[in-house]
Chain A
Amino acid sequence: DAGVIQSPRHEVTEMGQEVTLRCKPISGHDYLFWYRQTMMRGLELLIYFNNNVPIDDSGMPEDRFSAKMPNASFSTLKIQPSEPRDSAVYFCASSLGTGFHIQYFGAGTRLSVL
């Protein structure tokens, strides 16, 4: 079975540009999570969806960040405009409702904003 698939694996962009990260969860999973990992702050939950509906977006740092889940097999995390402090590894994870806490992570997108 395919795991959580994220693209791109690496993204280098300049400050002020729009960045879109993509995620395909494991088929059949009804929860999808976006995390950010940095040396300073560790692994932080940004937002999560249940059945394509955002449930908790309290971790989204500011209005420059937005996330969507138009269907059960696709989600995006957008940063507009990007800033150097957004540089981090962004992970998508998915889980089944019966095992919400058993989250399967993608390989991540390493974002560098110059």
Chain B
Amino acid sequence: GQQLNQSPQSMFIQEGEDVSMNCTSSSIFNTWLWYKQEPGEGPVLLIALYKAGELTSNGRLTAQFGITRKDSFLNISASIPSDVGIYFCAGQLTSGSRLTFGEGTQLTVNP
């Protein structure tokens, strides 16, 4: 089945630093999604990407849909303590098909 490899598994950064994480797949996806999960809560959708090469921003977050359709990237600029959480990528092959989630990147921001 499809698998998503997310890296890094964890990051420890200082407040104000920029963050980059990525997700790669052995097969293509036609939709890429990025979710954030805070402790004790469910994942919350941050950004959805629909087209190869697409670059989309949501505040300090920017995500890109890789041109090969097999990867996606998430950048967070000028991190703040409330960015702490687990960031998940998810891919969807076709409209209406199940989402495949990555293993998550645990982000810790030191004030």
Q: Which residues of A contact B (CB under 8 A)?
A: 4, 42-43, 45, 48, 56, 91, 93, 100-108
Contacts and interface: CB of A to CB of B under 8 A. Distances in A.
Contact of A103 (B40, B99, B103): B99
Given A42-B103, A42-B104, A43-B88, A105 B98 contact: no
Contact of B31 (A91, A101, A105, A107): A101
Query: Among the interface residues A43, A56, A106, which one has the most CB atoms of the partner chain B within 10 A?
Result: A43
A59 to B, nearest CB: 8
A56 B43 CA distance: 21
A105 B43 contact: yes
Query: Among the interface residues B31, B44, B45, which one has the most CB atoms of the partner chain A within 10 A?
Result: B45
Query: Among the interface residues A42, A45, A106, which one has the most CB atoms of the partner chain B within 10 A?
Result: A42
Contact of B101 (A42, A48, A56, A102): A42
